[in-house]
Amino acid sequence: MMLYPAMDKLTSYVPNRYMLVNVVARRARQIAEAAEEIGEPLEEKPVTLAINEVAEGRLDAGSTDLMRAEEEQE
């Protein structure tokens, strides 16, 4: 089974799978909370959106302050 985006592409931005899970989970929570706050339904699941942000290079292991990705979303 092929996954998109590929794991090697994701780990080029976040070097460790466990860290990747944490970064994606934190960002997915932010996306879900923001959508709920403004009452906007999401077309895709928050986790999918967060993974795509990593794959596009907008979110990486250095993104302890995830505000940059959140601001780009708006």
Give residue-wise pLDDT tens across range 60-70. Answer: 777 655 454 45
First to last CA, the chain: 33
Kindly state the tokens that stand for 19.
């860290």
The pLDDT, as a whole number, for residue 27 is: 94
pLDDT digits (tens, 9 = 90+) for 5-50: 888 888 888 888 999 999 999 999 999 999 999 999 999 999 999 9
Q: What is the pTM of this model?
A: 0.77
Q: Residue 57 CB: number of other CB atoms within 10 A?
A: 10
The pLDDT, as a whole number, for residue 1 is: 46
The answer to whether 60 and 14 have CB atoms below 8 angstroms apart is: yes
Kindly state the tokens that stand for 36.
């709920």
